């Protein structure tokens, strides 16, 4: 009751109301009425959010049922298709068979659609099916030039715009706003003969290394459902590792391609910023000019990443987004066998690698040296300054006000709950906590652990 009185200004209320006619019980009843009104407003708002979530979930289920029906119709017409002969191939092998006509794009697409549905039942990694993929199949048959990704099914991280589909970024407030056009990357994929067919799950706000949001729920790790596939390109990592996609597109600002790729045992590439176009890629926190995100491919092996980059870095991309440097994929450098001078470090002096990570670095070093390359150790200068002042300072330069405005009308998912609550602490409390906790995570303490 005291809290309600404070919120509504009890002293002010008693001054304004005629005190001769109102005793304490009447004022208490009025205050209770105001409090009940506030609670009712919150309840109605939460109910409105739940309705939007339910509608999005129903839409997903309807599209996945449409996807199942399409696969069923195809299998009835083609009962002799052996899925394993397609799913077992690498991207390069599959591309070669599609280019020479040994496999048809139709057989490949529906095989991966069926496998994606199976993986989704176990891992909850799909947010959307793109029915337009069937129309694109028919268009491919009319084309004279096949393109480097001819007939390859491609999965997309949820925030890649696809015309008439929603890019929610795991946020309820972004629901109900379908994209008016394809993103530039989707257009280039189509021009190269690829077939985008599903979109995959992300954590709420995409500022988490976990994988959960209040709309579509939690995505599980393909080998261990008790573990996370990593974020924020979590659905991509899980789907590809589970065999439901042979090539996917993710995005990365602080590890969102690299972490799920590492967690799920696949390969991912974060290209240099502005190498691939961000036009048509919604983000929850616009204006991060000092820390720019990158788009990049995710697949089972490095050669697949190279093929995807070779296809994307084409004249079509540079025409659609003139702000990009018109630098095509350099096949001469990629195919060269000339020994390289490669710098490496086992620790950046800020965060310590786990023993397994350190061992992986050492083994990679040995293999590269065995292949004739020169490995040179180096230390990363001023890592702490870069992390706190440049990276985190750049992302949260506004004191997290944009994030607060974004989430104040959201239901907060557990995967970002701690970040959201901590962000409300006053600056002096954060500095005090940092001062008290810093000795507990020093380099000496971590090495002792």
Per-residue pLDDT reduced to its tens digit, 418-433: 777 777 777 788 778 7
* Residue whose tokens read 């240099």: 272
Q: Token pair of 157, please?
A: 């991280």
pLDDT at 7 over 90: no
Name the residue with higher pLDDT: 332 or 21: 332
Using 50, 70 and 90 to split pLDDT, how confident is the model at 38?
A: confident
Q: What is the mean pLDDT of residues 255-273?
A: 96
Q: What is the pLDDT of residue 404?
A: 84
Cis peptide before 367 (omega within 30 of 0): no
- Among residues of the chain, what percentage have pLDDT more than 90? 69
pLDDT at 235 over 60: yes
Q: What is the pLDDT of residue 42?
A: 74
* Residue whose tokens read 């985008």: 196
Q: What is the mean pLDDT of residues 433-437?
A: 79
Q: One of 211, 232, 234, 304 is an active-site residue; which one?
A: 232
Asked if 284 and 171 touch (Cβ cutoff 8 Å), the reply is yes
Q: What is the pLDDT of residue 20?
A: 44
Q: What is the pLDDT of residue 403?
A: 84
Of 26-40, 274-288, 331-345, least confident by mean pLDDT is 26-40
∠ CA 92-192-321, nearest 5°, is 125
Using 50, 70 and 90 to split pLDDT, how confident is the model at 156?
A: very high
Handedness of CA 88, 93, 98, 102 (dihedral sign): negative
Q: What is the pLDDT of residue 175?
A: 96
Using 50, 70 and 90 to split pLDDT, how confident is the model at 11?
A: low
Asked if 247 and 297 touch (Cβ cutoff 8 Å), the reply is yes
Q: One of 167, 183, 256, 304 is an active-site residue; which one?
A: 256
Q: What is the pLDDT of residue 21?
A: 53
**Non-local CB neighbours of 185 within 8 Å, separated by 6+ positions:** 160, 249, 276, 277, 280, 281, 295, 312, 317
- Among residues of the chain, what percentage have pLDDT more than 70? 92
Q: Token pair of 67, please?
A: 């996807």
Neighbouring CB atoms inside 10 A of 420's CB total 19
pLDDT at 1 over 50: no
Helix (H) or strand (E) holding 263: helix 258-264
C-alpha distances (whole Å) from 360 to each of 42, 61, 365, 433 are: 51, 41, 9, 34
pLDDT at 148 over 80: yes
Asked if 445 and 439 touch (Cβ cutoff 8 Å), the reply is yes
Using 50, 70 and 90 to split pLDDT, how confident is the model at 56?
A: very high
Residue 191 among the catalytic residues: no
Handedness of CA 419, 421, 424, 429 (dihedral sign): negative
Residue 232 among the catalytic residues: yes
Using 50, 70 and 90 to split pLDDT, how confident is the model at 446?
A: very low
Q: What is the pLDDT of residue 298?
A: 98
Q: What is the mean pLDDT of residues 297-321?
A: 98
Q: What is the mean pLDDT of residues 18-45?
A: 70
Residue 271's Cβ-count burial label (10 Å; 0-12, 13-18, 19+) is: middle
Residue 212 among the catalytic residues: no
Read off the pLDDT of residues 350-409 as tens digits, 9 standing for 90 and up: 888 889 889 999 999 999 999 999 999 999 999 888 888 888 888 778 878 888 888 888
pLDDT at 212 over 80: yes
d(CA 401, CA 138): 48
Read off the pLDDT of residues 58-87 as tens digits, 9 standing for 90 and up: 999 999 999 999 999 999 999 999 999 999
Quote the mean pLDDT of the chain.
90
Q: What is the pLDDT of residue 14?
A: 53
Read off the pLDDT of residues 189-205 as tens digits, 9 standing for 90 and up: 999 999 999 999 999 99
């Amino acid at each position: 009751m005291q809290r309600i009185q404070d919120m509504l200004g009890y002293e002010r209320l008693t001054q304004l109301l005629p005190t001769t006619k109102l005793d304490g019980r009447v004022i208490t009843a009025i205050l209770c009425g105001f409090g009940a009104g506030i609670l009712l407003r919150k309840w109605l708002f939460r109910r409105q959010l739940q309705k939007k979530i339910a509608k999005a979930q129903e839409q997903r289920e309807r599209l996945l049922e449409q996807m199942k029906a399409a696969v069923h119709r195809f299998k009835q017409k083609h009962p002799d298709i052996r899925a394993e002969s397609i799913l077992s191939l690498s991207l390069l092998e599959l591309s070669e068979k599609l280019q020479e006509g040994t496999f048809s794009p139709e057989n490949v697409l529906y095989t991966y659609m069926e496998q994606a549905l199976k993986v989704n039942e176990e891992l909850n990694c799909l947010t959307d099916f793109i029915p337009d993929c069937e129309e694109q199949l028919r268009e491919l048959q009319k084309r004279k030039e096949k393109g480097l990704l001819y007939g390859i099914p491609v999965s997309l991280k949820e925030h890649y715009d696809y015309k008439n589909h929603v890019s929610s970024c795991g946020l309820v407030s972004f629901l109900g706003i379908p994209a008016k056009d394809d993103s530039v990357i989707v257009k280039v994929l189509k021009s190269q003969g690829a077939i985008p067919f599903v979109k995959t799950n992300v954590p709420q706000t995409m500022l988490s290394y976990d994988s959960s949001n209040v709309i579509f729920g939690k995505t599980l790790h393909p080998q261990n459902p008790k573990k996370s596939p990593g974020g924020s390109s979590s659905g991509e990592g899980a789907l590809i590792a589970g065999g439901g996609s042979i090539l996917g597109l993710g995005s990365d600002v602080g590890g969102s391609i690299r972490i799920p790729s590492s967690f799920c045992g696949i390969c991912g590439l974060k290209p240099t910023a502005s190498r691939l176009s961000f036009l048509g890629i919604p983000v929850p926190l616009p204006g991060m000019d000092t820390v720019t995100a990158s788009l990049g491919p995710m697949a089972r092996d490095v050669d697949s990443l190279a093929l995807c980059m070779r296809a994307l870095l084409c004249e079509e991309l540079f025409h659609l987004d003139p702000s990009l440097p018109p630098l095509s994929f350099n096949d001469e450098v990629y195919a060269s066998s000339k020994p390289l001078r490669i710098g490496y470090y086992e620790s950046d002096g800020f965060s310590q690698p786990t023993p397994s990570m350190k061992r992986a670095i050492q083994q990679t070093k040995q293999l590269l040296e065995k292949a004739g390359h020169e490995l040179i150790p180096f230390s990363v200068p001023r890592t702490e300054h870069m992390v706190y002042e440049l990276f985190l300072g750049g992302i949260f330069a506004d004191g997290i006000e944009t994030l607060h405005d974004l989430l104040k009308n959201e239901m907060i998912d557990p995967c970002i709950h701690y970040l959201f609550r901590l962000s409300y602490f006053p600056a002096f409390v954060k500095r005090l906590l940092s001062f008290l906790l810093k000795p507990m995570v020093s380099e000496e303490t971590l090495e002792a652990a």
